[in-house]
Amino acid sequence: MDGERMVPVEGLLRDRTDIGRATTRKPKTFRWLVIVGLVLAIVLGGLYGFNRFREHAIATYFANNKPPPAQISAAEVKTEAVPQFANGIGSVTAVHQVTINPEVGGRVTKIFFEPGATVKAGDPLVQLNDGPERGDLASYEAQARWAQTTLERSSQLAQRQFEARETVDQKQSQLDQARAMIIKTEALIAQKLIRAPFSGRLGTRQIEVGQYLNPGAPIVTLTDLSTLYVNFTLPSQLRAQISVGQRVNVTADAFPGHTFEAEITTIEPQISANTRTMTIQATMPNPDNALLPGMFVNAAVVLPPQPDVMVLPETAVDYTLYGDSVYVIRQDGKDANGRAILKAVRTPVKTGARLAGKVAILEGLKPGERVIAAGQVKVQNGAPVAISDEPAPQPPAELTRH
C-alpha cells in the first residue's frame, strides 16, 4: 500500500459541492429567459392590437361623420349671340393741330393770350412791332391821294385837248402803283398781328414781350380737341371684314371702364410690306376733351355677332397654367329621402372671347349643363355639393377709379 497515493477527504467533498451548484444554475437562467420573452410578446401584441383598434375606430368615425356638402352657386350653360371684334392698338391725333409761328420777323410788343386758354378762330394772339410799316402805309396813302388829284386834273385837260393822253396814262400808272404799295403794306401790317387760325385750346407760351422773333419761331401750340383721329393697324387678313363706316370702340388706360365711340373714315389703300398690316383711321368726337393727342388707345372694330355660342359667367372658369376648367354638377344617385345627390366634376374647357362678365366656351361643355359659378374654393373633384338659393355674385359694371 506504500505505492498508492492518498487523496484528502476534504478535497473530494468540495469538488462534489461545486458540481451540484453548476447543475442548479442552468434551469434558473432558462426560466428567466422564457419569462422575459413572454412579457415582451404580450407587450408587443398589446401595442399591435391597440393600434389596429385605433385605426379601425378612426376609420369608423370618419365613415360615419362625413362633412356636409359644400354650398355653391350654380349657372346653366346657355347659347347666345356673342359680339365679335377686330382688336388693334393705336394712338390719338388731333384733326386740327398747329404750332403758331410768325410769317415775318419782328419784336413782340403785346401778347393777348394766356397759356392753356380756349380761343376762337381769328382771335388776336401776338402783336409784333408794325410802326415802320404803318409809316410806309401813311406815305403810300398820301401818294395815292396826290396821284388821284393829278389824274383827275390831267383827265379834264386831256378832254379839252390841253394835255396829251400819254400824260393821263402816266398819272393813272402812278395811282395804281401807290394803291399796290398800300395793299402790300397793309398785308405786312396784318402779318405783324398774329391770329388764331381756328378754334381750339392753346398750350404753353414760348415767347416774352420785347423778344425778337424770326420767321417760323414757335410761339404757342393750338389744338382743336372737339374731334380726334384714332389711327391703328389690323392684320391684312381682316380686310374683307373691314369697311368705311363701321363702329369702333375705343378704350384708354387713363379711363378704365369707359368706352368711346368712333367711326372708320379712312382705310389706307396700301398694306405695309414689313408688317403685312393695314392702317385704319377712325374719327371720334371728344366733347369732354377727355382724350388728348398722343395717347395710346385700344381700338376694337365691331364685327357682326357670332350666333349660338355657349357662354358662362366668367367667375365659373378656373384659369390655371395647366389649362382652363370648370366644375360640372352631376347627379350621383339619391339619398334615403329620395333627393338627388350632387357632386362636382372638374372638366377641362376651351374658352373664347370675354365680354361683360361672360366668357365664350368653345369646347368641353354642352348647352343645359350646370356648373359651379361661385364657391369653387370649397370644392374638390368628386366632392358633394349643394346648390344655394342665393344668386351668383356679378362682376362690377364699371371699375372704380381712385
Quote the CA–CA distance of 62 and 32 in Å, as a whole number: 45
Rounded Cα–Cα distance for residues 304 and 192 (Å): 56
CATH code of 222's domain: 2.40.30.170
Domain boundary among 159, 194, 212: 212
Which grid coordinates belong to 133? 410799316
Mean pLDDT of the chain: 84
Instruction: Tell me which amino acid residue 324 is.
Output: D
Angle subtended at Cα 285 by Cα 284 and Cα 291, rounded to the nearest 5 degrees = 80
Looking at the domain assignment, is residue 329 inside a domain? yes
Is there a domain that residue 18 lies in?
Answer: no
**For residue 162, what are the domain limits?**
120-212
Q: What is the CATH number of the domain that holds 345?
A: 2.40.420.20
**Model confidence pLDDT, tens digit, residues 5-55:** 544 545 544 555 555 555 555 567 777 877 878 888 888 888 888 888 888
Rounded CA-CA distance 160/181 in Å is 32
Q: Are 128 and 207 in contact (CB under 8 A)?
A: no
Strands annotated E in 129-246:
193-195, 200-202, 212-213, 220-235
Cell of 389: 338659393
0.85 surpassed by pTM? no
Residue 128 is given by DSSP the state E
Contacts (Cβ under 8 Å, ≥6 apart) of 125: 100, 111, 112, 113, 119, 194, 195, 196, 219, 220
Dump pLDDT digits (tens) for 331-366: 887 777 778 888 889 999 999 888 778 888 998 888
Q: φ and ψ at 47, to 5 degrees?
A: -60, -45
Cα distances (angstroms) measured from residue 27 to each of 23, 34, 56: 8, 11, 44
- Residue type at position 285: P
In a domain, 402, yes or no: no
pLDDT in tens, 128-138: 998 898 998 89
- Choose one of 176, 191, 212: the last residue of a domain: 212
- Amino acid found at 398: E
Say which CATH number the domain at 176 has.
1.10.287.470
Question: Which 3 state secondary structure label does DSSP give 182?
Answer: helix
Please name which of 43, 213, 32, 223 lies closest in space to residue 118, comparing C-alpha atoms: 223
